[in-house]
Amino acid sequence: MPERIRILGFDPGTRISGYGIIDAVAGGELSVVSYGAIRLQPPAGKISIPQRLRNLYEALDEIVREHRPGVLAVEKIFHGRSFDSVMKVGEARGVGLLVGSLHNLEIEEYAATRIKKSVTGNGQASKSQVQAMMTRLLNLDEPPHPQDVTDALAIAFCYAQGLRSIDLSTS
């Protein structure tokens, strides 16, 4: 296993998708490489879901080409929203999985409760608690915004937490 693993956390959406890239290095040290929001719906006007998905594909492909992560970490789809909303998020999630597969990334999926627990110690933590902890744990000057970005960083962080029991400098 290499001394550094670059992790791309991806929070899918069809209006805004968040991404966060973290390097995990030997000894458990983490450093933030990049993060941001991929805005798929222009402020004025509407574009079709197929066009948004194409835009998402192009943006994610560019992010992967630029930053060269080895891992794509994504949240599993959860229940509780409307069927239409779950379908749209699933379509965006599928675009992320496709980009990861096309770039031969290791792909890991996590339940929302596991992500929250890895960040806050509480699987039922609020979005504001996750945001506060991500700001603190990643030594960010200000909280990531919008929430989709915080969620993407939390997903990458969850993957990185699983590496703490592995010595990256050996293997």
Q: Which of 3, 61, 66, 75 is catalytic?
A: 75
Catalytic (active site) residue 61: no
pLDDT at 35 over 90: yes
- CA distance linking residue 1 with residue 101, whole number of Å: 20
Q: Are 129 and 121 in contact (CB under 8 A)?
A: no
Q: Which of 3, 11, 109, 151 is catalytic?
A: 11
Catalytic (active site) residue 11: yes
pLDDT at 146 over 80: yes
Q: Which of 66, 148, 151, 167 is catalytic?
A: 148
Which tens digit of pLDDT belongs to each residue from 60-88? Answer: 999 999 999 999 999 987 665 678 778 88
- CA distance linking residue 34 with residue 52, whole number of Å: 22
Predicted TM-score (pTM) of the model is 0.91
Catalytic (active site) residue 109: no
Which tens digit of pLDDT belongs to each residue from 10-19? Answer: 999 888 999 9
Instruction: State mean pLDDT over 86-94.
Output: 89
Give the list of residues 6+ apart from residue 36 with CB closer than 8 angstroms, or none: 18, 19, 149
Helix boundaries (H) for 46-82: 49-67
